[in-house]
């Protein structure tokens, strides 16, 4: 028998309420398990390290008494086939909203925070044959998502699937209409360096720092030309320290030029190009050096960025580097701790559902204090102890 809902508190209460808003497209006359029961079981299974439908079905049978504290499960828990069918029929837009609602629960306003936006492919969501076959002949691309990650909160705030890998720009513009980014700084890679994206970010009251490559040749040429003249008084320079770790030595030097402080004659030469980019105030150049200690191999690279703020080179160097948090603190954990890359869920709805639940689970696991305990070890402890799982989900 289901306990009174007042028992549920914290993030689990919010999660169940949001899952209840997901539309169930199955034949109501043949439903033995509600969609909420299927989704809640899937999420809890993922929290405990389950990767396959079979794992989750086994988890449900063993944890039925605990699951019934929060949902009725009058017919027990669903089989792996039922889980598969249910998740395949989900509305992915509704599931995206679940992540947004759960992630923003009891989180302060994003004003002043730096948010990192980047895409990720779920490589196992399409077979090699499907990837190599033309779409007209039955081929398909792997599921690709655009994620919004906040390193200071250690949480993914939004995730949106895109039909084609070239559609990231419109996804970012749509995200700006959903989330309140006012007063935030958005960092993005060069795939998002488009005038429409920059304009939308500015119109929503946010700032941007975006990678600049050959997809914008005129703007890149202007940045290269201006930053090649480092004697200019309007250029701020920061020489980074050598850092040793992970088997390599790294050094990054940052150069930033304020476009508003350019000499009048030079400013007029670039006004036509710069004026096409909303609120563009600075160009950035990063010279990076890396040496692999084991092999002695050395690499040097120069990268350029556009920036809607004026800042000193030291702060800017740190901001540029922080963008890689989305790779190191989100995507890497999804692949290594949750096995996202090795997952073989081919239906894009199911693959996306698992991806959403992994991101919610990762945020809760990372923000739960258990010193010197890895994410995978926390997941195993969740599987072994209902109390430990409830503590992570803020349940007393």
Backbone angles phi, psi at 183, to 5 degrees: 85, 0
pTM of the shown model:
0.89
Higher pLDDT, 127 or 366: 366
pLDDT at res. 396: 40
Please give the average per-residue pLDDT across 230-242, as a whole number. Answer: 72
368 pLDDT exceeds 90? yes
What mean pLDDT value characterizes the chain?
88
Name 9's Cβ contacts closer than 8 Å, sequence gap at least 6.
394, 395, 396
pLDDT tier at 45, thresholds 50, 70, 90: very high
pLDDT tier at 390, thresholds 50, 70, 90: very high
pLDDT at res. 4: 44
Write the pLDDT tens digit of every residue in 238-282.
777 667 776 778 888 999 999 988 888 888 888 989 999 999 999
State the DSSP string of 314-340: HHHHHHHHHTTHIIIIIIHHHHHTS-T
**Residue 382, both tokens:** 């969740």
**Residue 153, both tokens:** 């909160």
pLDDT tier at 83, thresholds 50, 70, 90: very high
CB 283 within 8 A of CB 257: yes
Q: Can you name the residues that pair with 252 across neighbouring β-strands?
A: 288
pLDDT tier at 108, thresholds 50, 70, 90: low
Write the pLDDT tens digit of every residue in 298-339.
888 999 999 999 888 899 999 999 998 999 999 999 999 999
């Amino acid at each position: 028998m289901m306990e009174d809902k007042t028992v549920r508190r914290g993030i689990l209460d919010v999660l169940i309420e949001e899952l209840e808003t997901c539309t169930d497209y199955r034949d109501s006359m043949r439903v033995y398990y509600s969609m909420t029961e299927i989704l809640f079981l899937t999420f809890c299974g993922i929290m405990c390290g389950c990767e396959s439908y079979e794992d989750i079905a086994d988890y449900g049978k063993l944890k039925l008494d605990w699951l019934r504290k929060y949902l009725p499960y009058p017919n027990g828990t669903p089989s792996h086939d039922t889980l598969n069918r249910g998740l395949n029929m989900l509305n992915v837009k509704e599931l995206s909203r679940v992540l947004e609602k759960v992630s923003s629960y009891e989180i302060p306003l994003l004003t002043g925070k730096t948010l990192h936006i980047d895409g990720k492919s779920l490589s196992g969501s399409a077979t090699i044959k499907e990837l190599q076959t033309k779409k007209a002949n039955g081929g398909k691309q792997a599921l690709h998502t655009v994620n919004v990650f906040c390193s200071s909160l250690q949480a993914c705030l939004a995730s949106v699937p895109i039909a084609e890998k070239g559609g990231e720009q419109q996804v970012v513009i749509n995200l700006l209409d959903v989330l309140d980014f006012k007063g935030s700084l958005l960092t993005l890679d060069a795939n998002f360096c488009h005038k429409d994206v920059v304009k939308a970010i500015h119109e929503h009251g946010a700032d941007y720092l975006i990678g600049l490559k050959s997809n914008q040749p005129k703007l890149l040429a202007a940045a290269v030309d201006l930053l090649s003249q480092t004697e200019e008084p309007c250029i701020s320079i920061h020489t980074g320290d050598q850092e040793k770790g992970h088997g390599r030595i790294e050094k990054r030097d940052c150069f930033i030029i304020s476009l508003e402080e350019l000499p009048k004659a030079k400013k007029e030469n670039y006004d036509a190009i710069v004026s096409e980019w909303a609120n563009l105030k600075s160009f950035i150049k990063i010279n990076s050096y890396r040496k692999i200690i084991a092999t002695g191999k050395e690499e040097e690279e120069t990268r350029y960025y556009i920036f809607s703020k004026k800042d000193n080179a030291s702060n800017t160097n740190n901001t540029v580097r922080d963008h890689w948090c989305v790779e190191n603190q989100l995507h890497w954990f999804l692949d290594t701790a949750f096995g996202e890359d090795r997952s073989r869920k081919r239906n894009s709805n199911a693959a996306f559902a698992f991806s959403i639940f992994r991101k919610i689970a990762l945020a809760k696991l990372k923000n739960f204090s258990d010193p010197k305990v890895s994410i995978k070890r926390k997941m195993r402890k969740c599987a072994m102890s209902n109390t430990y799982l409830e503590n992570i989900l803020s349940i007393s």
